[in-house]
Structure 1
Amino acid sequence: METKEVLRSRRSVKVYDPNRKVTDEQLTELFELTTLAPSAWNFQHYKFIVVRDPDQKKKLRKAAMGQEKVEQASATIVVCGDLAAYRRARRVAEEFADKGFYGPDGDSKVEEQARMMRDTYVNDPQKARDEALRSSSLAAMSLMVAAKDMGLATCPMIGFSPEAVREAVDLPEELFPAMLISLGYEGDFNLDRCARLPLSEVVDIDRYGESFQPQS
């Protein structure tokens, strides 16, 4: 399916076929595509918890305000932001040097660059959280687009108790739940898509207040 068609046909599916399961092979392909999403310094500030055990689904559904699709879908994914992604700074700096990003004497800059990247987040917890939320959200959108292209259905969810989700899936302190995404095969779901705002309301040119008025 072409990318434009995927974006035009993707829906937030609320009803799933509980008898059709997503395989490990499908998950492998899905997450290989998902992790191609961009992230600052390629830190990949995310972690995904794929919840498919029936008992775990029950716990997660309770944490998600009783939303039926959490249990009905083949799996529900907890998309987490990683507040400690800076721990990969040295590995990233070494790869950047190997690829020539730092110039011909890149090896001599690895320690300095790794320290700079690490300190950027260690010294600014809010920036670390903002970046983790951005990166995990970019990855989440990539996941939903890839899933649609693979014939799978998804729905992002923000209706949940972060602490209850943390407890349900045993998240460590450095991870926080950014969103949940149900994943599976679409069931009996035929609601029309809700209208999108006209471009003149969401796109301005050059400065705020200069709305986009495309020429015909």
Structure 2
Amino acid sequence: MDTFDAIKERRSVKHYDPNHKLTDDEINQLMSLAVLSPTSFNMQNWRFVVVKDSEVKKQIRAAAWDQAQVTDSSLLIVICADLKAWKDNPLQYWINAPKETQDFLVSAMGPFYEGKEQLQRDEAMRSCGIAAQTIMLTAKAMGYDSNPMIGFDPDKVAEIIKLPENYVISMLMVVGKQTKSAMPRGGQLPLDKVVFNDRFS
């Protein structure tokens, strides 16, 4: 599917065929493209919990306002981030770069993030948001639909997936075959309300 079409046709779908399963190859393709999403300092701080176990899905559904798409969709992904990825062996993110580039970027990561908890969290959410959009557009290009979800108890879901310390959950993402189209778009703001030239007037 053309990228422009994928962007136009992507919708947040709530109703899925519970009998449809993605193949392992399809899941691998989806996630292999997700990890090409950009991150600051190339630190790849997103972490993806791909939930296949039906019992775990049921537990997460109970923590997500009993929303049916959690269990009915073909794939449930808990999109998380490691808040301390910037300090976890930063050289690994630049292992294939020239030494001069390695020396500059690796030495810059610590001072940029150290002691800045809000920046670390902001960076995590930025990274996860970009990766989520990659997943949604990839899914659409593969002939599937998706739904990013924030309607859940993050503490409960963290407990279910055994979220490590210093990690945060950004959102849930479901992917699958729709059985009912999304509602018509609620209304897009005109460009002149959201796009400004040079500065806010």
Which of structures 1 and 2 has the bigger CA Rg? Answer: 1
In structure 2, the residue matched to 1:62 is 62
In 2, are the aligned partners of 1:81 and 1:178 still within 8 Å (CA)?
yes
Contact 1:33 1:143 in 2 (8 A): yes
Give the gaps of 5 or more residues in structure 2. Answer: none
With over 3 angstroms needed to count, the CA separation of the structure-2 counterparts of 1:74 and 1:206, relative to structure 1, is same
Maintained 8 Å contact 1:155/1:181: yes
Residue from 123, 145, 154 that aligns with 2:115: 123
What TM-score do the two structures reach when normalised by structure 2? 0.93
Q: CA deviation at 1:92?
A: 2.5
What SS does the corresponding residue of 1:25 show, helix, strand or coil?
helix
Work out the number of aligned pairs and report it: 200
2:149 is aligned with 1:148: no
Mapped to 1, the partners of 2:131 and 2:139 lie a distance apart of 12
SS state at 2:58 partner: helix
Q: Give the counterpart letter for 1:31 in structure 2.
A: M
SS in 2 for 1:208: coil
* Matching residue's letter, 1:163: D
Mark the runs of 5 or more structure 1 residues left unpaired by the alignment: 210-216
SS at match of 2:21: coil
The superposition leaves residues 67-119 of structure 1 with CA deviations (integer Å, 9 ceiling, x where unpaired) of 11101111211000211212141222443325xxx3xxx5xx63x64243134
Please name the residue that 2:43 is paired with: 43
Distance 1:92 1:52, change over 3 A: closer
Cα offset for 1:205? 0.8
For residue 123 of structure 1, report the CA deviation from its aligned partner. 2.5
Deviation, structure 1 residue 174: 2.0
Does the CA-based 8 Å contact 1:63-1:168 persist in structure 2?
no
Distance 2:171 2:32 in 1: 19
Structure 2: which amino acid aligns with 1:201? K
C-alpha distance in structure 2 between counterparts of 1:189 and 1:62, whole Å: 24
Q: What is aligned with 1:214?
A: none
Q: 1:34 touches 1:139 (CA, 8 Å); kept in 2? A: yes
1:176 matches 2:177: no
CA distance in 1, matches of 2:20, 2:35: 25
Please state how far the C-alpha of 1:11 moved relative to its aligned partner: 0.7
Equivalent residue letter for 1:90:
L
Assess if the C-alpha contact under 8 Å between 1:16 and 1:185 holds in 2: yes
Structure 2: how far apart are the matches of 1:96 and 1:192?
47
| Greater Cα shift, 7-16 or 124-133 | 124-133
TM-score, L = length of structure 1: 0.87
The alignment-based identity, stated in percent, is 38
CA separation in 2, counterparts of 1:207 and 1:96? 37
Structure 1 vs Structure 2 CA RMSD: 1.6
Q: Deviations over 1:127-146 (max 9, x none)?
A: 11111110111011111001
Task: Give the aligned partner of residue 27 of structure 1.
Answer: 27
